[in-house]
A and B are shown apart, each in its own frame.
Chain A
Amino acid sequence: MNLTYRDALNQALREEMQRDPDVFLMGEEVGVYQGAYKVSRGLLEEFGPMRVVDTPITELGFAGVGVGAAMVGLRPVVEFMTWNFALLAIDQLVNSAAKMRYMSNGQVGVPAVFRGPGGSALQLAAQHSQAFESFYAHIPGLKVVMPATPADAKGLLKSAIRDDDPVIFIEGEMLYNTKGEVPEGEHLVPLGKADVKRAGRDVTIICHSKTVGVALKAAEELAAAEVEAEVLDLRTIRPLDEEAVVTSVARTHRCVVAEEGWPFAGVGAQVVDIIQREVFDELDAPVIRVTGADVPMPYNKHLERAAKVDAARIVAAVNEVLYR
């Protein structure tokens, strides 16, 4: 079926809440308002206020409530209206959720999902446009998942909810309206597995979330110039599918890593580390990263565009690694 990314998430939530009575949704405007981005549309009506909980604007507080509920066996889905606001909750995510199992020697786990849109949209300016996946990917004890397509959004959210570890699930505001084919019936996508969205032989473009669409567009342009690019969608940032990365780059001998976030210690830096360690002898060129500009996001439309990753920048990077 052809679904929007938003509806795919909605279906995932609905199905999992129907399947498991311990699953509940909590966050700002998730209930009566039908969700700030309408991801939770209709859920309050179907499941009632105990399972679809509107919270005050208290990210730290309700993230902690989610962690506490998970510690005693419920499976909360905690929605942050955006991941920008989740900075306020980071103590609960990093100091409580990530560490509970380890500190308690395996006695107490936190099977919670923390989800919401991350990264930039259009002209939302500096405090509303940040991509923080590398923050969370840095933390042992957390898992970080970022679907790029409706099918992956549904399959990965369902898997995340069933996962016994705390999952940081980062969606994209600019992705909610995108449409794609979603398999009928029970559709689960495993965590920790990347996906080749486009096969190619000349170069591997490694990307995730919004940059997947951009990379595919770049690949089309490159195909017209007879360069066949392979687009590898990471899908899960932590744990990273190292095998997929290594296999692809060993075959194409060249790699460009595209990501929305800032360059320093971003997700791409970890990918490059894996490649240079594991695929050194197959590399014909250094790995080039294409990232967001190393600045707070400006408001002006043109400046913002210049700060983002676009197909032209990916094409230029591919040409560089091909010495064209």
Chain B
Amino acid sequence: MAEATTTKSPTRNRGLEPSKAGDYRRWLRQMMLIRRFEEKAGEAYSLGKIGGFCHLYIGQEAVAVGSLAVLGPDDYITCSYREHGHALVRGVSARTVMAELFGKADGCSGGKGGSMHLFDASLGFLGGHAIVGGHIPLTTGMAFAIKYRNTSQVAVCYFGEAAVNNGAFHEALNMAALWKLPAVYICENNRYGMGTALERASAIYDISERASSYDMANEVVDGQDVLVVHAAMMRAVQRARADKHPTLLEVRTYRFMGHSMSDPIHGHYRTREEVEGQRKRDPIGVWSQRLIGEGMIDDAAVRAMDQEVAAEVEDAYQFADQAPDPAPEALYTDVYAHP
């Protein structure tokens, strides 16, 4: 019988462990990489090098970094369309991600997926999906396969808070809890589903309470603190591996940019003041200050790290810009397994 616990993780300082300083610094770098990458992607989009939709993760970096740090190489990850950051953290190179955004043959999906459909099966990174909530049952299926094969893998799903009103969310979580599957459902609650505030879309504000419908373990997590995210994810993953029980994590975060590049930063649905206020809890700033405070890094190193990351992103940009388009024949490949 699964424990139904709702825990609000403390946002106060938890002690940092000196032996993990390397990890901590890596997390900082990863968050910076995401930030610089997404800024560059925004720039590329406005220059017409990226077409269609482009959903930026700016402000939410701690969620991907803190949670993915817990997983092993055999675990499965499925995301929504706002997944550039997750791909980068999981290990898809900046070059390959940028090339995919540019639609080039060297992109991680051969230029055929685009921003919303990043895939790298060798890393267990199973997309990039564009139908809101549509991929949540996929994670349940992957967790089913893990149980079927009796391994200790975990299947993780990232989605936004607007997906939790969706039938697919409900069906997927019900089955995961019913059948006791090793899944972690991470709801990145950035408060706004496109232009609709959560209060206007959801009868219940505390998304984690949805889990009680399925008797599923759940937590509300401060998403702007990478360490808090990490700790919550540790618990959830442990529960999945050891007990084969799923968890719903409601990770409260904030996006500083609009829903996508086609949407205004605040528009009519939130105020500039709110956005500015939220920026004060920029996860990167919060974490770098923390590490500096703990003596695990210094300003110069942070700046150097930033420059290094910027160079990596610039390199990725150039790579993507010069990479070739897919061959015309690629139009017809991979529709079926054996043409």
Contact = CB atoms under 8 A, between A and B. Distances in A.
Contacts of B334: 101-102, 104-106
Nearest to B337: A164
Contact of B145 (A72, A91, A165): A72
Given A71-B126, A164-B338, A65 B141 contact: yes
Contact of B141 (A56, A69, A103): A69
B231 interface: no
Contact of B137 (A51, A56, A62): A62
B131 A64 contact: no
Given A101-B334, A106-B333, A141-B336, A60 B142 contact: no
A103 B119 CA distance: 8
A108 B137 contact: no
B259 interface: no
Nearest to B169: A61
A298 interface: no
Nearest to B138: A68
A123 interface: no
A55 B175 contact: yes
A104 B171 contact: no
A108 B174 CA distance: 26
Contacts of A262: none
A74 B144 CA distance: 10
Contacts of B111: 105
B292 interface: no
Which of B109, B137, B142, B146 counts the most chain A CB atoms within 10 A?
Answer: B137
B139 interface: yes
Which of A53, A67, A104, A107 counts the most chain B CB atoms within 10 A?
Answer: A104
Contacts, number: 151
B86 interface: no
Nearest to B124: A72
Given A103-B112, A103-B117, A108 B126 contact: yes
A221 B110 CA distance: 56
Contacts of B76: 72
Contacts of B174: 56, 58, 61
Nearest to B116: A103
A64 B110 CA distance: 25
Interface string B97-138: 000000000001111110001011110001111110011111
A260 B131 CA distance: 32
A95 B333 contact: no
A268 interface: no
Interface residues of B, number: 50
Interface in A33-63: 50-51, 53, 55-56, 58, 60-63
Contacts of A164: 337-338
A107 B120 contact: yes
A92 B171 contact: no
A96 interface: yes
Contacts of A263: none
A48 to B, nearest CB: 11
Contact of A165 (B128, B144, B336): B336
A108 B171 contact: no
B131 A91 contact: yes
Contacts of A109: 337
Contacts of B175: 55-56, 58, 61-62, 65
A202 B136 CA distance: 54
A104 B113 contact: yes
B168 interface: yes
A47 B112 CA distance: 40
Which of A24, A91, A111 counts the most chain B CB atoms within 10 A?
Answer: A91
B142 A71 contact: yes
Interface string A203-225: 00000000000000000000000
Contacts of A108: 119, 121, 126-127
Contacts of A240: none
Which of A56, A63, A68, A109 counts the most chain B CB atoms within 10 A?
Answer: A68
Interface string B286-307: 0000000000000000000000
Contacts of B144: 65, 68-69, 74
A133 B195 CA distance: 38
Name the 4 nearest CB pairs between A and B, nearest first: A68-B141, A64-B137, A61-B171, A105-B110
20 contacts: A24-B148, A50-B148, A53-B179, A58-B171, A61-B137, A63-B137, A64-B135, A64-B136, A66-B141, A68-B78, A69-B144, A69-B148, A71-B141, A96-B131, A103-B109, A103-B117, A104-B127, A107-B121, A111-B337, A140-B335
